[in-house]
Homo-oligomer: A and B are copies of this chain.
Amino acid sequence: MSTERVNPPGLCPPAGFSHAVVASGSRLLFLAGQTALDADGEVVGDTLPEQFERALANLLTALRAAGGTPADLARVTVYTTDVAAYRAHARELGRTWRALAGRDYPAMAVVQIVRLWDERATVELDGFAVLP
């Protein structure tokens, strides 16, 4: 398997994501959206950074259970109910990402939606990985 991150000069330099990820591998991993649910289905955390950390940890739990590592993540979509808060906490969210998932950033999109499955959930992450 090989994974290449592509960030061409014509685009705004990316911070915390890659503009494109090319991956060749024999297996494709599809990850369901994860919010900050604990194992009993309760939302953990009141603030966006707390929920982000748990949601990302959940995504990585699914990734690892399927045999992948964070460097295999090729695409992540972030659905949040509050992009303004996400931006206000961007440094902290970046630290959390690097602590849990490292610096091999996937291609990403962040969009503000109306609500998630749980009314208390403020952020959900889903993704794709390519496994060796």
Q: Which residues of A contact B (CB under 8 A)?
A: 4, 6-12, 14, 17-24, 26-34, 37-41, 58, 61-67, 74-75, 77, 79, 81, 83, 87, 106-117, 124, 126, 128, 130-131
Inter-chain contact A17/B30, CB cutoff 8 Å = no
Inter-chain contact A111/B108, CB cutoff 8 Å = no
Inter-chain contact B32/A23, CB cutoff 8 Å = no
Inter-chain contact B116/A113, CB cutoff 8 Å = no
Inter-chain contact B28/A40, CB cutoff 8 Å = no
Given A11-B58, A111-B116, A117-B83, the answer on whether A27 and B24 have CB atoms closer than 8 Å is yes
| Complex-state Cα separation, A38 to B11, whole angstroms | 7
Inter-chain contact B124/A20, CB cutoff 8 Å = no
